[in-house]
Structure 1
Amino acid sequence: MSSPVFAQQCETTVASTDQMTYLQKEVSVSRSCKQFTVTLQHTGRMPAAAMGHNWVLSKTSDVQAIATDGIAAGSAKSYLREDDSRVVAHTKVIGGGESTSVTFNVSELSPAESYTYFCSFPGHSALMKGQLKLVD
C-alpha cells in the first residue's frame, strides 16, 4: 500500500473560477507516479452553459487546434472532438460548485515534450491554461 505522502504526489486539485481563470498555473507530476489524477473544482457560481470549465491536457503545440476543433464538437461533447488522439486526458465541462476528475498514465508523457492544460470551452483557452511539468 502506498504511503499518504506518495499518494499526495500523484494527484492534485486545480480550481477554476467565474473569472475564466485556473488558480494553479503549473502542475508538477513526478515521473515515479504510474498514474496521476487531476480533480477540477469550479469555485464559481455560474452554470456550465454560461461559464463552464474543463481540464484538457495536450502537447503545447496542439492546444490551439484542439480548442478550435472543439467548438464544432459542442457542449454535449465537452467541446472536444470525439476520440481526438492529441488529447492526453480531459474532464467533462462543469459549472459553478461542481467538481470532476481524470486519471491518466504518466508513462504517456514524454520528458522531451512540453505539455499545457487548458479549458476547451469556446474562448476560454486564451486565458485558462497552465503548464504541466514532469519532475524527478
Structure 2
Amino acid sequence: MKKLILVFAAVLAISCGDNKKEEKNDLKIGAPVEETTPAETTDDSVTEVTITGNDQMKFNKSEIRVKAGQKVRLTLKHVGTMQKTVMGHNWALLTQDADMATVGQAAAVAEDNDYIPADMTDKFIAHTKMLGGGESDTIEFDAPAPGTYIFMCTFPGHYALMQGKFIVE
C-alpha cells in the first residue's frame, strides 16, 4: 500500500511539474493570461482588440471593455499548435438575450457551419471563423448598446472554459 501511495505521489508531482513548464512556455511565446483589459484605441473611430486562445482551452482575456457604437476591430489568434479539427477556436459575441449553454449545445452539432448554429444566427452579434493552431482572423463590427454581453468559443464543449464578458460603456 505504501508503494502505491509513493507511486501516486510521484505521478502527481511529475504531472504538476509539466503543467508549470507549459505555463512558462505560454509566457515565453507572448501569451500571458490577462483577466481584464481595456480595449486599445487606435483613433476616435476604431477600437483595436486582440485576444488569444491556446491548446489548454483558454482565452487570455476574460473581460473586454469598449464604448457603445464604436467600431471594433477584433483579432483572434490561436497561439496553440493543434489542428482545427481537434482544438479549434473562434470568438463569438452573443446578444444579451442569448443563453450561452443553449447556444453552446446547439453549436456542438453545427460542424458543417463552423460550429455556428444556422437556426440561431440571430443570437450572434459577431464571430470569427474557426481557427487551428497558428492561425488568426480579424473581424470588424459596431459595438452594441451599453450593457454586458457574453463572448465564447463555440467549438464543442469549449464554452465551459472559453468565455468572458464584453462590457459596453
TM-score range, shorter chain: 0.7 to 0.9
Shift of 1:44: 0.5
Secondary structure of the equivalent of 1:65? helix
Identical positions, percent: 34
Q: Relative to total residues, which structure has the larger helix share, 1 or 2? A: 2
**Structure 1's 39 and 119: CA in aligned 2 closer, same or farther, altered over 3 A?**
same
CA distance in 1, matches of 2:155, 2:142: 24
Report if aligned partners of 2:68, 2:145 keep a CA contact under 8 Å in 1. no
1:55 matched residue in structure 2: 91
RMSD of aligned Cα (Å): 1.9
Shift of 1:119: 0.3
Code of the aligned partner of 2:79: T
Indicate which of 49, 56, 66 corresponds to 2:103.
Answer: 66
1:80 matched residue in structure 2: 116
TM-score, normalised to structure 2's length? 0.69
- Provide Cα deviations, 1:49-69, integer angstroms capped at 9, x if missing partner: 110000000135421111111
Report if aligned partners of 1:9, 1:30 keep a CA contact under 8 Å in 2. no
2:132 matched residue in structure 1: 95
Shift of 1:32: 5.7
Greater RCO (CA < 8 Å, at least 6 residues apart): 1
CA distance in 2, matches of 1:78, 1:7: 33
CA distance in 1, matches of 2:153, 2:165: 13
Question: Which of the pair has more CA radius of gyration?
Answer: 2
Report if aligned partners of 1:18, 1:45 keep a CA contact under 8 Å in 2. yes
Report if aligned partners of 2:108, 2:157 keep a CA contact under 8 Å in 1. no
Indicate which of 61, 74, 79 corresponds to 1:43.
Answer: 79
- Structure 1 gaps of 5+ residues are none
TM-score, normalised to structure 1's length? 0.84
1:16 lines up with 2:50 in the alignment: no
Shift of 1:8: 9.0
The number of equivalent residue pairs is: 127
